[in-house]
Amino acid sequence: RQSSFGRWYEGAGKESFGQVSAFQEIGSPYAALHLTARGIRTAVQTGARDEALRQGSDLSRIEQELLSKLDELSAAIGQKQN
């Protein structure tokens, strides 16, 4: 199951902004976000509390990176429209 963001990223976002380098740079942190979230879920399910906490810290860092990339995309789109 794909998130709303994932549907936009793979669909309308890619169609509209796929050639913009700032859009292309979103892919890596977005994939890392999902991979880390799955790791946290697995750690919680198996009782690996310390691992879940460590990955939670990673998730926060990745989230900030993704938000930064989205800000860069927003700025790039704004520049193209002007």
pLDDT at 82 over 80: no
Rounded Cα distance between 56 and 39, Å, is 9
Residues 6+ apart with CB under 8 A from 65: 29
Q: What is the pLDDT of residue 29?
A: 95
Q: What is the pLDDT of residue 80?
A: 73
SS3 content of the chain, % helix, strand, coil (to 5): 85, 0, 15
Chain segment 16-68, per-residue pLDDT in tens = 999 999 999 999 999 999 999 999 999 999 999 999 999 999 999 999 999 99
pLDDT at 1 over 70: no
